[in-house]
Chains A and B, each alone.
Chain A
Amino acid sequence: MADMIKCSVCGEINPADNEFCKNCLSRLQPLTGPLKGENAPLQPGQAPTKKNTSELEPILPQWLREARQQAQQTEGDEPKFAAQEAPTIPVSSEPDLLAGLASQSDEDEDVPDWLVNITGSAPAKKKKVEQEDSNIKKVEMGDFSEMPADDKGSASPTPTWMTPQEAAPEKDELASWLSEMGQTSVPFADEKAAPVQPAASTPEPPSASADQSDWLHDLQNGASTFDETPADQAPISSDETPDWLKNLDAGVASSEQTPAQQVFTPQAPISSDDTPDWLKNLDASAVSASQPPDQQLPAPQAPISSDETPDWLKNLDAGAVSFEQKPAEKPAESQPAPASDVPDWLRTFGEPSAPSTPNEPAVAQTSDAIMPDWLKAAAPSGEAPQAVQSEKSTDAETPVAVEMPDWLSSLKPVETESKAPESAAPAFVPKESGDTLSTAPAFADDSLSSGDVDAIFGSMQMPDWLSSAAAPSQPPASESLPPAAQPAGSIAPAELPSWVQAMRPVEAALPPDMSQGEASDTGVETKGPLAGLQGVLPTIPGVIKASSRPKSHSIKLNASEEQQAHSALLEQILAEETAPVPMKSSSAILSQRVLRWVITALLFLSVGGIFFSRTQIFTLPSRVPLPNDETEAAISSLDAIPAGAPVLAVFDYQPSLAGELEATSAPLFNRLLLLKHPNLVIVSTSPTGSALAERLLSTTLKDRNYQRGTQYVDLGYLAGGLAGVYDFAQTPTTAIPTDLWQSAVLQGKAHLSDFAAVIVLTDSAEAGRVWIEQAGPFRGNASFVVVSSAQAGPMLMPYMQSGQINGLVAGLNSAAKVEQANGQPGLTRRYWDAYSLGLLLAVAFMILGGFWNFILGLQARRTQEVK
């Protein structure tokens, strides 16, 4: 779909060439193109770029152009305005911008009442700027029908502001700026203004606002100067000053009557072709408004009946007239209603004031009826005539209708947060002091303080009614803007002229209560590209509060008590499965170690002590000659061997039991060696046997002084275990092939039976059994005596009972018997006390410990049974 545009409001498809939507009549084409270069929007901190007004010609809105044309056509009316006013324009070098207005006398019906009231004779309909909600700067262009009508009955088509009515001279600002306009150069145009006559030092009226702009002050001075001069004098003579402004100067000078007051007397009507009619009418109204109450202009001149006068302006005249008819009827509030001469739409841009009186609604309604549509849309409903500024509109979209001029719309919410002191209320806010000047608030905007406005407009010499648009001190009274006044979003931004740009209070004082939550939305943006706009969402994180928080849902399971109990039980079961079982054996291990150490210590101390003490306390066991006593048999058998006979001695015990065996064998070998002097033949089936034999002979039996090679021989190690014993028993010479068999000890001995006795020394029953079983059949008549440890004795006793051996000496107890038989104390006697004490201690430990553990065992068993 080429060349088609979709309406952003209704969605209707329109041709690309259409400027307005054919369905909803909203604008399709932007008024201006994108701003580029020098036409880029003004950034904060930047100084407004001065532009020639002629350069802005192409971007002027259509309505403005038409107004200009009308003004040009009605050029002839200008002298009328000038004639109506008292031409008392003083001759001054400074251009009297309001000369045209000054020429409009009371006779001039075209002088609007509001203008008259501006000069100080405005009725008491001024409202004090309310500061309920500060920092809101709006251009209230509400529907005049909703505005309180000043006079409900007044249905006069003639705008009230055009009717000469007494206006409460409360507001001097309008007169002041009008007067100043006659003195200073033209602030609106960049053209070089003619030198303005120095304004006479007119003392400001006492009721003048302290916040009057400088340019307004200048106007006052100029106007006062003009007052002194004949009104016929031409005001501004500069060719560069626009005619309408010149006329304004003349009007100011001519209408000036009270030097002490700011006078805004437009002398001559606007005659410039560039001056729009509405502005001409403003001149006339200002003249009438600036007049003191007692000198108020008569009924306004004939209203501008020219067909070229826009209707809204006509309506304003009627509204102003109705306002003028209601002087000072405002309650003694802070801000009374603005002057009745002030057009309603103009009042709406002034300070807001609460319409507490019934007149206000009536006025509002009347004013609404005469207010042009575009102004209606821009002005707040019902409050416009009384400076609807009392409304507290928080929208950034101030009541700017669709058709509202851009320059007017830009004036509204520049700064909504700056508080304007009440004294700096819009120009048309009447004062309670009773000033003659009564002004109607032109703009109900409370975003900017008048001081700020003055600061801005001071250098620009803006008309008061325009500056009041930036004076915000009063919050809007009540009503919000009508929906129609809300920007539909289809208004395209226009290129702002330099003076409008300058009006943007970028550097203006920030509203003091910007941090207020309530005002945050209504604050004016001061930073970034959106500077000057109202109601901009803050970009600072954290400032924006979520309009609605997400609902917080509980994540807790809806489980009953029984279910929770079951889950807890399951968790307990699972925990027990993985929980390690504590070990409880540390105490038991500790007690065992302690007991062992105690036993060791007692045995060591007792046995060692009694041994090294060589005591002989304990008696030796008695020798009872029993028939089958194995010890007695051993003694007997060895006593029967012949002297010097070879005796085979087998040393088959381990070094660990060498002490017991030596103690056990020593008495027997002492007896044998002492009595029989045999030739010993030593053999062993263990590798250490020979060494042990040597030990015995060299230590225990050293007294016998047996010599190796002559009294004993050592055959060495007999390998083969049982087989070797068997082989040795069969043929000893082959089992151990050595030359010793040829020695004197073994001369002629080749068999086991050749030995007189075989003495086997062993610590184990196995070794003894082997020698008994293997060598027994081959011993012949040789005695076979076994000397063993006490642990092997019982195992070898059967062999004694069977007659396979001839004697058995087992343990120290038997050795003691042998030693008793010998009659000489020996090693056994030395060991006997320690041996006996050790045995007795062992018995004691076993009895006591056994009993104790027996009790503990029973208890443990009973505990186990109970569990």
Chain B
Amino acid sequence: MRLVAVVLAVLSGLIVLAGYFIPALAGIQTILLSWTIILAGVATVVGVFNLISVHGSKITHREKGSVYSALLLISLFATFLFGIGLGPDNPNMQMLVNAIIVPVESTLMALLAVTLLYAGIRLLRRRTDLMSIVFLLTAILMLFASATLPFGEISPLNNWIRPWVQQVLALGGTRGILIGVALGTLTTGLRVLFGADRPYGGK
């Protein structure tokens, strides 16, 4: 059974890859990709069901934090019912999004600002080295260069230093990261195609 899974996985990958190079295989490629999309959608539903099951179990066994699990499930079912019944363009649904979803997530994101600032302040206490200092100085520069002063902006800083840092230093690093990601993705795909990695189970 495990061999079948491996064969199917490998064959599917090769066909999809070949479909990029062989136009005759494009139809199969499209079919396989369609199946992939369906499976991804089903996986989302399965995830939702798993979420319901986990939190429902916590509620049943009266574990610690079961109250929050109950609130989550209630919110889930309410949003689901509202979304299906009212639609995304319904003003009530919009009110739900604008009054609950967006503020809650925005609040969590706002805490990140304080945490990152505190981490930046204590960076040099935890790690007193050159890179830490450079990193901190760069961050200070960019922050300072992104903002303007009441009496006006500092033109060299805003028009020259900050763009150069972004387009030279940042861009270079970004490209390197992206190339590394690309290469890593390619390698991982090849490993799956060659059966070296089997994320779908089995040895």
Residues in A lying within 8 Å of B, measured CB to CB: 592, 595-596, 599-600, 603, 617-622, 624, 626, 628, 654-659, 688, 690-692, 694-695, 698-699, 708, 714, 719-721, 723-724, 726-727, 730-731, 734-735, 769, 790, 793-795, 797-798, 801, 811, 813, 832, 835-840, 842-843, 845-851, 853-854, 856-858, 860-861
Contact = CB atoms under 8 A, between A and B. Distances in A.
Interface of B: 30, 33-34, 36-37, 40-41, 44, 88-89, 93-94, 97-98, 101-102, 105-106, 108-109, 113-115, 117-118, 120-128, 133, 136, 139-140, 143-144, 146-153, 155, 158-159, 163, 166-167, 170-171, 173-175, 177-178
Contact of A723 (B40, B136, B174): B40
Nearest to A618: B148
A635 to B, nearest CB: 17
B124 A695 contact: no
A730 B149 CA distance: 48
A836 B147 contact: yes
Nearest to B133: A854
A371 to B, nearest CB: 110
A736 B17 CA distance: 24
11 contacts: A720-B33, A720-B40, A723-B33, A734-B34, A735-B37, A798-B171, A839-B143, A845-B117, A845-B121, A846-B117, A849-B121
4 closest pairs, A vs B, by CB? Answer: A849-B121, A853-B125, A720-B37, A839-B147
Contact of B159 (A624, A726, A735, A857): A624
Contacts of B89: 694, 708, 714
B174 to A, nearest CB: 5
A654 B121 contact: no
Nearest to A659: B106
A196 to B, nearest CB: 115
Q: Is the contact region of chain B dominated by helix, strand, or loop, or is it mixed?
A: helix
Contacts of A734: 34
A839 B101 contact: no
A849 B147 contact: no
A695 B98 contact: yes
A846 B98 CA distance: 34
B40 A719 contact: yes
Contacts of B148: 618-621, 832, 836
Contact of B94 (A618, A695, A856): A695
Given A720-B40, A723-B37, A846-B121, A654 B174 contact: no
B88 A691 contact: yes
A596 B146 contact: no
Contacts of A857: 124-128
Residue of B33, B126, B149, B163 contacting most chain A CB atoms (<10 Å)? B33
Contacts of B147: 618, 835-837, 839-840, 843
A119 to B, nearest CB: 119
Nearest to A620: B148
Given A691-B101, A694-B88, A720-B40, A596 B140 contact: no
Given A655-B101, A720-B40, A845-B117, A622 B94 contact: no
A724 B97 contact: no
Given A618-B150, A842-B117, A719 B37 contact: yes
Contacts of A726: 33
A622 B163 CA distance: 13
Given A626-B163, A720-B37, A846 B146 contact: no
B106 A655 contact: yes
Nearest to B16: A723
Of the listed residues A619, A624, A691, A811, the one surrounded by the most CB atoms of chain B closer than 10 A to its CB is A691
B143 A794 contact: no
A628 B164 CA distance: 12
Select the residue from B30, B114, B158, B170 with max chain A CB neighbours within 10 A: B114
B128 to A, nearest CB: 4
A727 B16 CA distance: 12
A588 B40 CA distance: 47
A688 B97 contact: yes
Nearest to B152: A619
Given A794-B166, A795-B178, A857-B128, A847 B122 contact: no
